[in-house]
Structure 1
Amino acid sequence: MFLQVQNLTKKFNHKTVVKNINLSIKKGDLVAFLGPNGAGKSTTINMLIGIIQPTEGRISLNGFTPQEKVYRQKIGVVFQESILDDDLTVRQNLMIRRGLYPHLSRNLDYWIEKFALQKIIDQKYRTLSGGQKRRVDIVRALLHEPEVLFLDEPTTGLDIQTRELIWQVLNELRREMNLTIILTTHYLEEAEEADFVYVIDHGEIIASDSVENLKCKYAQNRLTMKVRSKNVQLPGKYQYQWDGNKISISVSTSDCLEILSQLSDQIVSFDYRQGNMDDIFLNLTGREVE
């Protein structure tokens, strides 16, 4: 496995904030960490990037550990708070960063174009909007062409257009560079695109699987129908919930079409909602994303 984590544990003043976390991450995957505030996501990320030391456990990236220089060269990080210099221009900030890595295949112009920084490249960093700063932050993390990009809630507070641009480019880079992305996010629609999801609560992994498998286990599709009469003859193999003259059923898409066809002359209106990441999160943690 490309990135392997075994029994990762972190204690602060005898309080365990991350407990026995195990991860197996394949190269090129987009992996999402989901969990409520205080669940241990950021602490886990900080151990993976080497900012804090685990109390117990092992982290290995192709055999290298976070304490080794090679490991640190293989990763890029976009923190929740920017670490760039407010008084320097975008170009100056990025040139300083790139100067640390003289032998790279992609020059600065490549990244400027990729993330549409042309109009702001000579502005001081402090003058940028939140979305502009975040694009620059991501470029800073990618300049040295890492194999793994860590994104700690990278699009929180950004408008939908900026979020879409960022993810469009990141998905292109995944294809071009076989880039592995490890993401924590409050936007569940971002996690929908992940190859694999770890749900973390109270410092422990409470579920881990592909999005599709998690949906099968924890997020049922629901058909709601308003019918003409409570005397309607319903197929017998389902469990129905009545609310006045409305019926709610958990069904697959194919079963939904069959029911609607059978009851077409009895239905006044209907709504079909597919299970999503919100359902998974709520069913696993008992809470909505904060």
Structure 2
Amino acid sequence: MISINNLEVKYGKELALLIKSPIKFESGDRVGIIGSNGAGKTTLVKSILGLIKYNGSINTKVKPEEMSAHMQFNNYVDTMAVKHVIEAVLDTKIKNNKELQELINFFDFNSCLNKRYSTLSGGQKQRLTIILVLIQDAPLAFFDEVTSGLDFETRQQLMSKIEEWYRNKNTTICIVSHYYEELEQLTNKILILEKGRVVDFGDKKELFRKYCGKSIIILANNDKNLEITKNFRKIKSPDHLIAVSCMSIEEELEVSKLLIENDISFKRSNSDIEIMSINAKNKANSEEVA
């Protein structure tokens, strides 16, 4: 679907993105693209879409005009009724387009059609742009911070709708997001970027095993919990948490039993993308220093 190699993007003299080793997105892949602000996530998307200049190679049989994209910032005419915005952008009448009607119903958007764009809520504005992306039925779709600024419930509803729409379809989807729980739900591959460089890329489950082990036990970071878990292998985690790495079921059972005996709440995970990415970046930084 897409093969990227020796990609270099500069803004003036500043190197914004550098991908040396080949990266491939296959048909049907659901790729989560993560990294800190300024890591190069949106720059990568714009490069693939042909919106900015780059050096290197991006090989794909899909032409930029055949790709669909939900970018982080989308502007429409504030004073125009939403139904007219949709019809103008897509050059079609809603009443004559059954697939478009299906999408509008699918996203419970009928009640918004006669509203002005400026009166829509954040979630409704995102639904509008998602509808405009999905109707294109492109073989390659990008979603850049599609739920940014929305409350948890609205985020969950939108992502569930996107997941349902693409279920059993061979569309390749690239999702830029800093909400890790969304990526756990939707993706099969993860691309980690930091300061314009690739930290790692691969199958989500394999990356977790590489940096975290078979599973992790997550609990609150306090003096009591630190003391109880002092003899177990810990890995990097957000400051308010402790993450114990387990390399086998036996280790997992040993940790769990001790925590239950001490009445300590914990969570078990074999897919936590946030903790996986923290440890991937930590390893990369350690290798740089060495």
Q: Using structure 2 for the length normalisation, give the TM-score.
A: 0.79
1:279 matched to 2:275 = yes
Q: Aligned letter for 1:47?
A: S
Q: Given the alignment, which residue of 174, 195, 214 partners 2:188?
A: 195
Q: Aligned letter for 1:268?
A: N
Taking the TM superposition and a 5 Å limit, the aligned residue runs for 1:65-144 are 71-99=63-91, 107-144=99-136
1:17 matched to 2:11 = no
Taking the TM superposition and a 5 Å limit, the aligned residue runs for 1:1-290 are 2-20=1-19, 22-54=22-54, 56-62=55-61, 64=62, 71-99=63-91, 107-193=99-185, 194-220=187-213, 221-222=216-217, 239=232, 250-252=245-247, 254-256=249-251, 258-259=253-254, 267-275=261-269, 276-286=272-282
> Residue 44 and residue 267 in structure 1: after superposition, are their counterparts in 2 closer, same or farther (change >3 A)?
same
CA offsets, 1:38-77, max 9 Å, x none?
Answer: 11111111111111111x1122222x5xxxxxx1332111
Structure 1, unpaired ranges of 5+? 65-70, 242-246
Instruction: Say if 2:217 and 2:252, in contact at 8 Å, map to a contact too.
Output: no
> Residue 248 and residue 42 in structure 1: after superposition, are their counterparts in 2 closer, same or farther (change >3 A)?
closer
| CA positional deviation for 1:84 | 2.1
In 2: Cα distance, 1:272 partner to 1:261 partner? 8
Q: Aligned letter for 2:15?
A: T
Partner of 1:67: none
In 1: Cα distance, 2:255 partner to 2:190 partner? 33
| CA positional deviation for 1:263 | 6.4
Q: Aligned letter for 2:102?
A: Y
In 1: Cα distance, 2:211 partner to 2:100 partner? 44
Q: Aligned letter for 2:203?
A: S
Structure of greater Rg? 1
In 2: Cα distance, 1:92 partner to 1:82 partner? 16
Q: Counterpart of 2:155 in 1: which secondary structure?
A: helix
CA offsets, 1:73-104, max 9 Å, x none?
Answer: 32111111113222211111111122179xx9
> Residue 218 and residue 110 in structure 1: after superposition, are their counterparts in 2 closer, same or farther (change >3 A)?
same
In 1: Cα distance, 2:262 partner to 2:209 partner? 29
Q: Counterpart of 1:19 in 2: which secondary structure?
A: strand
Instruction: Say if 2:48 and 2:64, in contact at 8 Å, map to a contact too.
Output: no
Q: Counterpart of 1:107 in 2: which secondary structure?
A: helix
Instruction: Say if 1:28 and 1:174, in contact at 8 Å, map to a contact too.
Output: no
Instruction: Say if 1:174 and 1:180, in contact at 8 Å, map to a contact too.
Output: no
> Residue 180 and residue 248 in structure 1: after superposition, are their counterparts in 2 closer, same or farther (change >3 A)?
closer
User: Which is worse superposed, 165-174 or 123-132?
Assistant: 165-174
Judging by fraction of residues, say which structure has more helix. 2
Instruction: Say if 2:72 and 2:146, in contact at 8 Å, map to a contact too.
Output: yes
Aligned length: 263
In 1: Cα distance, 2:10 partner to 2:146 partner? 26
| CA positional deviation for 1:258 | 4.1
In 1: Cα distance, 2:155 partner to 2:44 partner? 24
Partner of 2:285: none
Structure 2, unpaired ranges of 5+? 235-241, 283-290
In 2: Cα distance, 1:39 partner to 1:261 partner? 36
User: Which is worse superposed, 169-178 or 86-95?
Assistant: 169-178
